[in-house]
Amino acid sequence: MQNPHLNRAVCKTLHLLTFVRALLVNHPQTANSPTCQILDCARKLVHANWDLCRTGKVRIIRRHPPSTWEKAFDYCNKNHTGLLWIQDQEDQKAVQQWLEHPPSDEHFWIGLRQSRVFGFWIWMSNRMVSYSNWENDTQPKQPLSYQCGAISGQTFRWTDENCQRKLPFLCEEEISFMNP
């Protein structure tokens, strides 16, 4: 920016927002709280990927470097709740909004896997797939499908991918809100 006074004001604001964000790491707020509305506006201005204000009970964590599906599964189970699973259209919309900031044309591993014996798709959180968002509205079928599920960062649709392909991945982490 050309204006030095404006530059200093922006820097002070960003430092303050970074401080507030740091406080919220251990005290998540609901999405409609005034603090979260301010942070959301700031996050968009600086293209940051903060996810401390949620309407649900899960925080999405994007992980790099790319890994195979199995390594992503192990990592998420060890360090978080697990690979991300999408229960319904509301979850799908939340994931889409999250992936839009910043935009990505990558695919991301999610906790979706096809049974090699029976051919149906299941969430690795031991839940059946009751909602689906497959590319071309067609669930991949054996023997022509790959057995691991990913979500496109561009179309937000699910795809079957070779489990040995190295992709970034989405972990989920359960959060609990502190009551005042």
Percent of the chain residues past pLDDT 90, beyond the cut: 43
Q: How confident is the model at residue 179 (pLDDT cuts 50, 70, 90)?
A: low
Enumerate helices (H) and strands (E) in the chain, giving the number of each. 4, 10
Q: How confident is the model at residue 128 (pLDDT cuts 50, 70, 90)?
A: confident
How far is residue 149 CA from its own chain's centroid? 14
So what's the architecture of 57-180 in CATH?
Roll (3.10)
Q: How confident is the model at residue 33 (pLDDT cuts 50, 70, 90)?
A: low
Beta strands 53-54 and 29-30, pairing class: parallel
- Give 136-159 pLDDT, tens digit per residue: 999 888 877 889 999 999 999 999
- 159, amino acid identity: T
Angle, vertex CA 28, rays to CA 105 and CA 32, nearest 5: 80
Task: Record the tokens describing residue 143, joined without a space.
Answer: 């023997």
What pLDDT score was predicted for residue 93? 93
pTM for the full predicted model? 0.67
Task: Record the tokens describing residue 21, joined without a space.
Answer: 């964000």
Q: How far apart are the first and last CA of the chain?
A: 41
- Give 51-109 pLDDT, tens digit per residue: 444 445 668 888 878 999 999 999 999 999 999 999 999 999 999 998 988 888 899 99
What pLDDT score was predicted for residue 1? 45
| Greater model confidence, 43 or 110 | 110
Task: Record the tokens describing residue 7, joined without a space.
Answer: 């530059």
| Helices 4-24 + 34-46 axis angle, to 10 | 130
CA distance 146 to 63: 22
Per domain, the residue ranges of the chain are: 1-55, 57-180
